[in-house]
Structures are given as C-alpha cells and as structure tokens.
Chain A
C-alpha cells in the first residue's frame, strides 16, 4: 500500500528508528476501511471499498443503498464464525447440554397405532411408581396450536385421536431415565383402531373418518388439507408446440438428518415464569404456541434458544414435546429435560413431502417456453405444519427464472397416517424444480440445442416481474450459467463423454425471505428488529432474536455492525439466545435471516454512528457530513490529522445519557398481486443458481457416483465468502442425498422401516463429489450491502443436474427419486430389452447435432446479455414484465392486449374435466357449499 494518510504534512510515513520502531508522531495510519491497525490486512482491504467512497471495488449494480455505510472492515472477507471457538472446544451448549440443578427426565408415551381413537388413558400405575414425579395426558393441554395461524391442528398430546405411529399420547417425568422409561410402560391406553391411509392418492378420496376436520372449509369428506389452483398467461400458446415434455415424477420423503436430536429443558422459576431451553430455529413461534397451550401470557414465558445442532427446517415448528416438558415441569415443580432418541426424531419428521409431480412443458418455434403445466400431489402426513405454504411453493417457485407464455398449476396436500411433513431446506421448490429442469433438458434434446443456451435465451432480466407477479430485483442467473459452463468445460463434454460418464445442468430460483410473516400480520409489524447498545467500555452489544443454526447468522450480524461502525469484529458481542432480552425476530426460515436481520442491524448501527458523529461535531466543530468514522477514529475528511478517537467521541456522546442505544427494524416493501395465494412466494429478493454435475454410472450395477460439481450461486453479495461456500457445498451434500440415496421407506403395513441413521442413507465423505463453489455477486439494491440468501437456494439445482447427467451418461431418465442402483439397473435392463441388447456396454449414448435453432438461441442470448447488463446498471429502467419476450408491451396490462391472458385461482367447469392427479381435489365441493359443516 502506498502512502496511506499522512498525519503530518510532508511527513515521510516510512521513517523508522534504528531499533526498527516507527518514529513517534510520524507514523502513517491506515486509510479508511483498512480494518483497524492490522497492517497485513490493508492491501486487500482497499479492494473491498466501493469506488464511491474512495476504494477500488467496482459496484456491479451501480451504487448500492448501503455503499455510504461501507468501510471495508469485515464485509466480504472470509470471517471465522464468532461462535466457532465455543464449538471447537466443546463448550457450545445444545439442547441436551442444559443441566439445571434438580432436573428430572421426561419421556413420552407414543402411539403404536397408525390411526386410532384414544378411549382412555390410565396413568394410575405409573403415578404410583417410586421416582415418578409427574404424569400428563392430553387433558392437561386442550388448546390446539400450529405454526401457521390457519392450520392450528396439533395438540401437546392426543386429545381425541392419534394420527400416526409415534404420535404423542402422554408423558411422564421421573428422577432418572430408567424410571421414566419404566413409567412409560406402565401407562395403559385403550385405543379404538381406525382405518388408516398411507397412500397419498387415497387421500383424495372421501372417507368415513378424515384425519382432521376443517369444518365448513373441509373438502368433501376427503383428507385434502389444502388445494391450490393457479393459472396465468395465454393458454392458447401451448397449442402446436415445437417441443414438449411430459413427465410423471415420484419423490420419496426425506428427513433433515440434523445430527442433534431434539431436546428441551423446561423450568418454571421461583417467580412462576417458564424458562424454556430449546434448540429452535424459530423461537418466536414456539413462544407464541407455548403461551397458547399453557394458557399463560407470552411475557410469562422466556424462550432460551440453545445452540442448534442443525436445523434445515426441521426445528422450525413449535413442537408438542416442548409443551410436554413445560407441563411436566409445572406439575412437578422441577426442571424437566426431554431428549429424543433418533427414532423419535424420525417420528416428528417435518421433512420434505413425498410427492407425485406431473409436469407438461411446451416450447414454441423460436424455442421460447410457451407453457408450464404442473400438478403436484404432496403427502403431508398427520398434521398441517407448514403445508399450506408448501402447497403453493410447489408451483409458484417454478415461475422464474424463465420467461413463460403461460403457467398452470394444480396442487393438493393430503393428510395421511404418517409423521408430518413440513419445511425442509429448499421448502416446496425442490421437487418441482427437479422435474422442470429435467423437462428443459428433454426439450433441448428435441429442439437439438444446447440446454444451457436454451436457458440463456429464455431468462427474465434483472428488475422484472414474473408471470405470477413476483418482483425480481437483482438477478445473477446469466452469470451463474456462464460461469459453470466455463468452469466445467461444458462445451467439450456435453453429449461427448463415453458411455457411463455424463454431465448435466440444473438451475435454481429461491426466495430470500418470505414477504409475508407467518403470523400473517402483513406489513405492519417488522420482520426483524435489532437493538444495539454501547456502554463506556466501547464494546458493542447487539441484541437480536435471529437464530443461528450453524449458518452463521450471528456472525453476519456482527459483521455488518462492525462494518458500519468500522470496528474490529472482536468488539461486537451478539446476544441472541433469550426472548427476554432479544427483540422479536421471526426466526430462521425462508432464508430470511441475512436479508432481514442484517438490514435491521445496519439501520441500528447507522443510528449509533449518527450519535457518535454528532458528539464529534460538538467536540471538533466539523459537520458530521464532513467527518469520517474509521479505524476507531473520527476525523475531518479533508485533513485526517484533525480528529478524535472513537472512545473519546463515544464518551462525549454518553455525557448525561449513559449508554448509547439504538433500535433498527426491517419490514419488506409492499409487493405482489391480489389473487388468492399471491403472497406465497413473494420475497424482497430472489436468489439464483446454476450447477453442472458430472457423474459416473456403473452400467453393470446402476450405481451412480457424482464426481464433480461446479456450483454457481447468486447470493447478491457474500458477506462472509467462507460461510457462503460452506452453504453451497453443504447444500450439494444434502441434495445429493435426496437424489441418490435418502428416502423414508414406509413398508407394506405403513410402518417407517428406517428410522435410524444406519438405514437412512445420508451421504458419507466417500459419496461427496469435488464441489467447486462459485459465488456470483449481483448486488441486490435492497439487501444488506447487497446480500441475498445462500442457505436454501443452492440445494435446488443439484437434483436436476445429477438426473440430467445420468441421461447424458446412459441415455436413460429415471423419474423416481432417489436414483438407487436397483431402480437405475431396472431401467437399464428395460432399455436393453427394448433395444434388443445383451451387453449393457452396447447401450446407445445420446449425442447432439445442433439444429438451426441453436445459432438463433445464441444470438438471442447475446442480445439479452446486453439488455440485462443495462438493466443491472440501471441504464435501462423501463418496465419489464414476463411476456415481453413474446412481443407484449410491458406498460399495458397483459389482460388488455392479449385475448385469453388470464390470472385465475379457480378452475372453470371445462377445466374440471381435464385435471391432473392433484387437480382432482377440485372435483369435490367444500362443506359450506354442500350445506354441511358446522
């Protein structure tokens, strides 16, 4: 680094004494954004400072709203997680590590039946067992709860019925584990067994005893929990397609497989308040549900989030066992700890929905995508959980990144007598995305074009609107595709590799925070609030409710505060464990934490900064606009020698007031359409990703080994590249599990066959490919320093990339995940029989001869690239809505210029005749229209 800021006019800055120490009074100090007094950081720090404030970094999206707040202290640097030391020393305290004096052990009595009425529960023998201190049943907690306000269908323990094997019936607390287990075996339950259903298709049929009853909104007497119909665009476009794809897909259910089993400690303290320690992703919803179920005001409950040993969506519902621990503690007057064994984790589940998905896709003569028809039947298991949202996500998250001529979606979620499905990384979007991306691959084969070029020529630009009305801001999809194409040497490999080796592409699109909070109080209450406090010691305490589940959200918050205040990250202390001290944060779901929480943190930090600069104004006499806060020093920007230290300014600011305090909040802007379900999938920003996967398929056994993955993800701005890369590689791991080996297997009798980590096949280190993470930074205009999500979106593309690579390797598509060797081999054998081949080595390998469309697509993609760059830099600010590619005017409502352009949320009578599997749910009337219900 040359020069730096000279503190003394004409001073050399490099002069040293004979003993090597710098000459007092003549030392240079680091330029703004140098990251403190650490000389080894200075050269590269300059690269991170935006041009707008004197650094070198070029801003990809023009000026960003947070540019003025940037100092180059920590943002964009590989930052060790602030809680890493606790984790590597064994001091991190997870659920089961909370040890309170006098704690006793709780165990749960679970249903052995799939579906039964609970006639009676006799607890007398258990209560008499020495060492048993409390027993509770459903009668102790009659109030229902659920994570979504419209579907509160869960109870702490069975009130009337049990709905799956493992459903909670009663619970006990005893002085030790052995006594508690003994007491569980002494509880006598009388059941009346009912007819259970396990096949999701049966859930569409009328039955005598539906698993839940929704009153006047119940669909017939079926087990349909939620049905969705959405249609946008011009349906006539799909007639006479140039290419089309029809795929019927089956996806098995998968579990999050986090390593820490659920555990909870409940303690009613001496003031009669409940202290509940739980590894929760969403402590606020647990807080709400606990207050409802226990019939106490929310302020009498303190939810303490322990370290969370992996979440991935599986720890985001309020859970019955949390209520059980609280009830047992209230009864016994002692702290109660409940820790699950692995089998219980699978019974709670909330994993990805088993699904039947049918997609039909069409491309027109110019290889534009004229229509997507998606039909998704998803198996919700015994409870609603997040299912209401999942039902929408299975369709609406397929409306980008491509420009569509029309979009038609029917979805249904049914109850079955299995552990409930719920939210899991990539919530709702994963399975449909896989089907759609494979469909594009298939259509590109028919059109004889390169699938990457087909995608590049059909992308929505930045600052546009999808067919369903989602507002796209920054969009790095194009760069992602280009980078993986380049990185993987795609052009020399695709359709050119020998039999058994293949390469495939897949893309992803995901929300960065849900625009509508799950408590459904739209746009009134902030999504995230952050409090910052600085006392006389100068350390910064940040209070946030954001739940760090290993993704590094606490670190991200510390980073953005350090960045705004230009302090070393060691001076930022984040307190995020307790609802008593943390402002409400909606939790770690929908990939919302970085976007919303860090935005709130930046606002709070800016308020603090203003207070400090105002104090410096008083002391120095220069207006804050001319003052720079950097490197723990505040100085006049035209003469850095004039200034004062951070502590001096801070103490000045604290005169008569004491500690500085500021609060910052974030809520998403008003967005979206007005149709039913318009809020599902709305987000203040969206992430984009493209992966190329390379596989080896053993043609003798059907065993697939994924060898390499090039994974490009547009996260807007990587606040912490190390954490983003960790998320990308981790997503590959989890997605590979779903596409190659993981499945929850329900046997002939409906019992879960593999509720353990031996038979539930999570990829080990040997199954992992070599992943090359590629971070794309599209710099979102509303994200914190331009950042968007990186936690869930990176999972989506790996599934279709692998399936497409398998086709490239052996010319066979298997639409039944996971692609276990038995299925793949069966498909190989079938194809051999069909083609009359005896040796699998003679299998034909797909090859590609470009049609004349290819050059058209390349030209169109090049044109679009210019268009996208102009829009990204805000040189072109014209409106762009889905449909412009088809020649429509974005400034006139499409309904007015295209006959037949529609937006509908109910099928017409004619459409009822031609519905897909899930769509048949619309053939039934709701009770209120049948004169039934209550």
Chain B
C-alpha cells in the first residue's frame, strides 16, 4: 500500500428516490442507486426489526416479504424491490394485537435471544399463508434457510404448528394469561364486606 496511488474503494453512486409500500404505508426515501434493500429498510425506512446477521444470505435474519414472497433483504437490491409491497416483522401485528404466529412464538418458546425471530416469523407467515396445514417436514423445508442458535428449532416448529392450528380455526391462543391485556385490578379481588355480626 505504501507509495502506491490510492484507488477509492467504493465509487459514489448517485442517489435516487426509492419508493415502496412498507407495511401498508407508502414510503419515499432518497437512497443510493446501488443500495441494498436491508440498508434502506433499516437506515431509511425505520424498520430496525429487520436484522443483519451475516450479510451474505446464510442466516435468514433479514427475511422480509416482497409482494408476499419471503426474500433475503441483504441479497436484494433496493431498486429491485422498488414499487413493491414489503412486509417486515413490524407489519405482522394488527395494531396492538399480535398476529397468531407472533403470539405462538412467544408462548411456545420459539424465541430465546430473539435476534433470528423476525426472520423466522416472516418465513413462517409466508408458509402459513400458502399452506395452513403444514407437516413438520414441510415446516422444516420452509425454515431451512433460517439459522437459530438458541432454540434448536424444536420449539420453533411447535410454535408454527400452534399458529397453524389457530389459522385453521382449530384452537384459540393457547395462553390467555400472557395476552397483552394486563389484569385491570392490580389490587386483587374486591375486599369482601364483613358479614354482619362477624366477630373479630
């Protein structure tokens, strides 16, 4: 390096307007024309739930839905997703209510450290949309591109199966105790009135 003429590593790319419908909201941002979708989603569109694990398509943490198809955003040029409908983990919940797949991941231990969870949720959501009655084998094939280092996948598969049964209408959310509605009476049951004549 010493004494050689320095060649710039990355030629500056011109910025362009990038627009897409992200989680139901149309977004228009200025991004370099060679930007990667993952960077645009995280840095410009505010979707920090899309995770960067490896930058080379090996871990699946950055999976998003592009027009309903699960795609690795770290291997997608932003321009290629321009004008598309993009769903990230932030777009799964319906207002304050978790989607069944989210609730099931929480209730069945499908998420431990949680870093791979957004990618798994998106992949499973795409699977359940297409196939509401997947076998364990089909689930395994769907999530084979996602890496989880904590759970050993077993509880993830259980979570997806539980969500599938909710999608099919066979069961309700399994654990109402952990529903997002805290007990309205933190003081416990009302103090009972003393029965008349009860001696203390």
Contacts and interface: CB of A to CB of B under 8 A. Distances in A.
Chains A and B are bound partners = yes
Interface stretch (A87-95, A602-610, A872-880, A915-923): A87-95
Nearest to A120: B2
A726 B151 contact: yes
A393 B89 CA distance: 42
Interface string A539-558: 10000000001111000000
Interface string A248-261: 00000000111111
Interface string B81-114: 0000000111011000010001101111101111
A262 B200 CA distance: 63
B186 A632 contact: yes
A94 B89 CA distance: 15
B147 A762 contact: yes
Contacts of A489: none
Given A89-B90, A757-B59, A734 B109 contact: no
Contact of B189 (A8, A186, A631): A631
Nearest to B88: A90
Interface string A287-307: 000000000000000000001
Contacts of A770: 154
12 contacts: A8-B195, A29-B192, A41-B177, A84-B111, A87-B106, A178-B10, A259-B149, A260-B51, A641-B198, A726-B112, A757-B59, A765-B143
A730 B150 contact: yes
Nearest 10 interchain pairs by C-beta: A90-B49, A632-B188, A550-B113, A87-B114, A309-B115, A733-B152, A84-B106, A90-B89, A647-B187, A729-B152
A99 interface: yes
Contacts of B151: 726, 729-730, 733
Most B-side CB within 10 Å, residue of A85, A88, A182, A646: A88
Interface residues of B, number: 76
B149 A734 contact: yes
B149 A93 contact: no
A150 to B, nearest CB: 31
A259 B115 contact: yes
B144 A88 contact: no
Chain A interface size range: 35 or more
Given A550-B114, A758-B56, A765-B144, A644 B191 contact: yes
Interface in B122-156: 140, 143-144, 146-156
A257 B58 CA distance: 12
Contacts of B190: 645
A259 B47 contact: no
B155 A729 contact: yes
Nearest to A307: B114
A801 B196 CA distance: 69
B183 interface: yes
B89 to A, nearest CB: 4
A479 to B, nearest CB: 23
A863 to B, nearest CB: 38
A402 interface: no
A722 B111 CA distance: 11
B178 interface: yes
B66 interface: no
Contact of A766 (B121, B140, B155): B140
B150 A550 contact: yes
A342 B53 CA distance: 7
Given A41-B177, A85-B98, A641-B195, A259 B188 contact: no
A88 B56 CA distance: 23
B189 A181 contact: no
